[in-house]
Structure 1
Amino acid sequence: MTLALPFLSTVVINKLTLGTLLLCVLVFSLPAISAERNLEKNDAISIKADQLLVQEKQGISRYQGNVEVQQGALQLAGDQIEITHPNNQLQKIEISGNPATFERIDPQTKTLTKGQAKTIRYVSKTDTLTFIGDAQVAEDGKHKISGAKLVYDLQQQTLQAESDAQNKERVEVILIPNTQTP
């Protein structure tokens, strides 16, 4: 994707790399994630914000003020999103807000997955998503996981939930029983 800004030189963000990240945000729908990542990564990415600051030499793009990101069935929102992309290679994306949120509707099952935290961070090198501060992820009708910090390793497909240092915000898992009859 190329952004042409009259007051800056042309900024290039690798669409496939950014798209892959955005698809990874909702990997909590584990069974279908591989197929869905391939289906959605070619969808257009829409980013809306009140302000945009691009520091091309530093490889940083900062969107501020009521930031909304949409790609396919995925929606992200926050007060600020900072994308670190030195030499046009995605390094890190950090979404902050009160709270930063995401929503995704699984195109096959129509299941809604929602999540939120004060900060949501993706690190490309480790292929991890970290939800920090009042973190929670819920899959409609199945479960809700919350804690001070949730770390999801996309390669290993593992989730680690942590309480805060003072144990004021303990890890909580709520499993919702299936009420449908066979």
Structure 2
Amino acid sequence: MPAISQRRPWLLLGAVAASLCLGACSSVGNSARGALTAVTPYKVEVVQGNFVSKEQVAALKPGMSRQQVREVLGTSLLTDVFHSNRWDYVFTIRRQGVEAQQRRLTLYFNGELLERFEGDPMPSEEEFVAQLDARKRHGSVPALEATDDQLKKFDPPKEKPAESQPAPAAPQPPLPAVYPPLEPTR
């Protein structure tokens, strides 16, 4: 039995060490989680479909042919085999730092002619570009003005007196009017 009693202090020491390690892991995990939430991974920009502007929708008129509609809006993203008289224009964009956008426009044809269309309100091209650039701006733009002292650094050097300037170069002979051929004639 003396062997078992000698193991008890080591077992007790091992149990205390294990409990300390487990306690430390939870506190390290909490601080690591806090650091990881501050870092955001890069998200790929995803653009799908056809962007349709307010100006393009304004150009649509009932009675237009399919070809005329295609010239205004481009080829539709979705053409349903079961609904051949319906074209769906869907546009989605997902960018980091910008709220995801999705817009739909559905056109209904009666044979070869546009009958009606319905969908989400579309932004103008200017509004759409402004929405794309709606990311958070960091810092301020510095003033783009230089003081007179800063500009003096870039002044051209003052002219030297006439005697120290080199003499002007002699005039060159005029160039020939006709040049010899590049390859020898045979």
Structure 2 length normalisation: TM-score?
A: 0.22
Richer in strand (by share): 1
**Structure with the greater alpha carbon radius of gyration:** 2
Please identify which structure carries the higher helix content. Answer: 2
- Structure with the bigger RCO (C-alpha within 8 Å, sep 6+) is 2
> Structure 1-normalised TM-score?
0.22
